Amino acid sequence: MDGFIKTLPKVELHLHIEGSLEPELMFTLAKRNGIDLPYESVAQVQAAYDFDDLQSFLDLYYQGAQVLLNEQDFYDLTWAYLKRCKADHVIHTEIFFDPQTHTARGVPFDAVINGITRALEDGQEQLNISSHTIMCFLRHLSEEDAIETLQQALPYKDKIIGVGLDSSEQGHPPEKFKRVFEQAKELGFLTVAHAGEEGPASNIWDGLDMLHISRVDHGVRCIEDESLVQHLMEKQIPLTVCPLSNVKLKVFDHMRDHNIVELLRKGLCVTVNSDDPAYFGGYMVDNFLAVAHALNPSKRELAKFTENAIEASFLTLEEKTALK
């Protein structure tokens, strides 16, 4: 089974590029940019990655991102992730980035987007990995801040396929971003949002009804609303589920309690993703292995995760057919 998982072709649809910052690269960039870290060693960083909930993770995630200053830093970060993709047989990836985490520190928007996309172009040429980029708004910041970020992105519109919504779900419901998502849609961006990770199933309904999202990021709390599960199944609305993340952030106590295989068996379009692999203990293969060992899906079911992810991707029909 492990050998099957390793070589199974995979498509990743839920990956925060800032969450792929490994402690080793964090130290390298801190040194290069003259930034003091509150850690002495890689082991100390890893020891700090013991989270109670989403917010306790986000605090360290935003702190770690402070070592990213120049275009080359974003290139190096993205390139390191793509090499992990290659090792894990990831053939296509759609990555999130959080521009506000960087522009709020004075990092120019173009340093972020140009560094990331230059690495993605090299990934296509040198590693044969195709990709898209999705810009996330931080939901703990204001609607005005998100609108300003959307404006900053316009010159780079050809490099960004969609917009998303991440950060603290509790207290920041989809409704807060209704208008900026409307604007983004009018401008031709696709939309996705984190919903039903820590927040209630009603956030998933609101993401669909108010933000017109094409995919739900996480969405595992849909299980609390039977009519929502039915709707997600009938409409085949994809869920980008992140198993290791959900256990690390205590959405589920143990992997054996995770509902990903249950949702798959109910006929939902669920996919496996790594979210913030440097913080949660693994990339795509690690997530598949953790699911397989705890929940005993068949090989056919594991392959279905990839088939679902191809279908749920923002590739064109022609590109999807070429991957199948």
- Interacting residue ranges for ligand ADE, rule: CB under 6 A: 16, 19, 54, 61, 166-167, 194, 197, 245, 275-276
Q: Least distance to Zn ion from the beta carbon of 17, Å? A: 11
Nearer to Zn ion among residue 168 and residue 230 (C-beta): 168
Nearer to ligand ADE among residue 167 and residue 287 (C-beta): 167
* Residue 263, φ and ψ in degrees, nearest 5: -65, -40
Q: Least distance to Zn ion from the beta carbon of 139, Å? A: 12
93: partner contacted, choices Zn ion, ligand ADE, none (Cβ within 5-8 A by kind) = none
Nearer to ligand ADE among residue 94 and residue 166 (C-beta): 166
- List interacting residues with Zn ion (CB under 5 A): 275
Q: Least distance to ligand ADE from the beta carbon of 139, Å? A: 8
Question: Two tokens at 317?
Answer: 């029909």
Q: Which residue is nearest to Zn ion (CB)?
A: 275
Verify whether residue 197 is a known catalytic residue. yes
Write b or e for each residue in 146-177: b if 16 or more Cβ atoms lie within 10 A of its Cβ, otherwise e: bbebbebbeebeebbbbbbbbbbbeebbbebb
Write b or e for each residue in 75-102: b if 16 or more Cβ atoms lie within 10 A of its Cβ, otherwise e: bbbbbbbbebbeebebbbbbbbbbbbbb
Query: Annotation-wise, does 258 bind a ligand?
Result: no
Question: Two tokens at 9?
Answer: 């072709």
Q: What is the DSSP string of 93-135?
A: EEEEE-HHHHHTTT--HHHHHHHHHHHHHHHHHHH--EEEEEE
Partners of 163 in beta bridges: 135, 191
Query: Annotation-wise, does 254 bind a ligand?
Result: no
259: partner contacted, choices ligand ADE, Zn ion, none (Cβ within 5-8 A by kind) = none
Burial of 178 (0-12, 13-18, 19+ CB in 10 A): middle
Q: Which of 12, 94, 197, 198 is catalytic?
A: 197
Nearer to ligand ADE among residue 130 and residue 245 (C-beta): 245
| Strand boundaries in 52-97, DSSP class E | 90-97
Q: Least distance to ligand ADE from the beta carbon of 276, Å? A: 5
Query: Annotation-wise, does 102 bind a ligand?
Result: no
Q: Which residues are catalytic?
A: 197
